[in-house]
Amino acid sequence: MSIASLLFVFFQGLALLALAPLVTGMIRRVKALLQNRRGAPVCQPYWTFATLMRKEMTIPEHSSWVYRFVPFAVLGTTLALALVTPSIGFGAWGPSISNIFLFVAIAALGSVFLVFGGMDTGSTFGNMGSNREMTLAALAEPAFFLVLATLAFFAGSASLDGILAFFARTPWHAGTLVVAPTLLALLLVTLAENARYPVDNPATHLELTMVHEAMILEYSGPYLAMLEYASALRLALFGALFMNLLLPFGLATPAAGALALLVGLVLLAVKLALFALLVGLIESLVVKMRFYRMQEYFTLTFFIAFAGAVIVLAHIL
């Protein structure tokens, strides 16, 4: 890898790191405005993370080294995802690094470590959340794999960089419009993978409804800040991937120069703002579904993804 490509990768990662809390703050602000509330400032997540980093931690009495290792593992895998996900542009990674299967594996690894953290505390809520998280993951993965496989087949590349390069070089009506059902399925999977409505409620501490919050309920201080930051970063990188496929415009390459990088950064911020608006609208219009109806949600997602695959196959043939 050249020096330019390496700098390009780190610039993308830093951009996602800087914008991730802002995406969460914008979603909360959109929801507040739609509910006729003033809401917190969009920069509130930054202050929240800074406050958590200064607080003391309480460690569960019966926890093991797993409890302490989980925040580092979850944040580390999410940072790895941020580095391999093309957000500002494409062309930095080779096909083996930005491979869609590696992307899914890293995402699943972070989820598994989070499940271990919820179980290691010995809390009833933690074990309940871990159980629900694994059930939701088993339901979501088939649709997620089908979405990525459809995009890879349509683009003729099994890497995220190659897929994004294809859409960037293809007219919108001949690329993105053809895979519209697949992108809709990707949006539904994104909501599920990031514990958003209608799958989960990220703002609740009611034991009957929480999934993600149940697993991190026993964490506090810097450990909680790391887990919450990882959650915000994961949402931002999934949003960047979705918006770059939906609006594959203004994407830079490592050899494009500083001006192209700056334009790509500005456009990334605009796309993430649109994504935050979309998620805020969805969460304001759709209520959280009961846990035992999740199979209906994921069945619908899978069939939308399957319809997208059929459309792509018919288009190519």
| Radius of gyration, alpha carbons of the chain | 19
Q: Tell me the mean pLDDT in the region 295-314.
A: 94
Phi, psi at 202, each rounded to 5°: -75, -5
User: How far is the C-alpha of 289 from the C-alpha of 118, rounded, in Å?
Assistant: 22
- The predicted structure's pLDDT at residue 212: 80
Comparing 3 with 245, which gets the higher pLDDT? 245
User: How far is the C-alpha of 282 from the C-alpha of 5, rounded, in Å?
Assistant: 37
User: How far is the C-alpha of 251 from the C-alpha of 249, rounded, in Å?
Assistant: 6
pTM: 0.93
Q: How confident is the model at residue 241 (pLDDT cuts 50, 70, 90)?
A: very high
Asked whether the predicted pLDDT for residue 95 surpasses 70, the reply is: no
* pLDDT tens string 101-130: 889 999 999 999 999 998 888 788 888 888
Q: Tell me the mean pLDDT in the region 186-207.
A: 83
- The predicted structure's pLDDT at residue 181: 96
Phi, psi at 213, each rounded to 5°: -65, -30
Q: How confident is the model at residue 205 (pLDDT cuts 50, 70, 90)?
A: low
Asked whether the predicted pLDDT for residue 84 surpasses 80, the reply is: yes
Q: How confident is the model at residue 209 (pLDDT cuts 50, 70, 90)?
A: low
Q: Tell me the mean pLDDT in the region 265-291.
A: 92
Q: Which of 33-37, 72-76, 205-209, 224-228 has the lowest mean pLDDT?
A: 205-209
Asked whether the predicted pLDDT for residue 79 surpasses 90, the reply is: yes
Asked whether the predicted pLDDT for residue 173 surpasses 80, the reply is: yes
Q: What percent of the chain has pLDDT over 90?
A: 53
Query: Mean pLDDT over all residues of the chain?
Result: 89
Asked whether the predicted pLDDT for residue 231 surpasses 90, the reply is: yes
Asked whether the predicted pLDDT for residue 282 surpasses 70, the reply is: yes
- The predicted structure's pLDDT at residue 261: 85
User: How far is the C-alpha of 172 from the C-alpha of 177, rounded, in Å?
Assistant: 6
> Chain centroid to CA 201: how far?
15
- The predicted structure's pLDDT at residue 72: 95
Asked whether the predicted pLDDT for residue 97 surpasses 90, the reply is: no
Q: How confident is the model at residue 30 (pLDDT cuts 50, 70, 90)?
A: very high
- Provide the token pair at 239: 């949003």
* pLDDT tens string 174-186: 899 999 999 999 9
Q: Tell me the mean pLDDT in the region 44-57.
A: 93
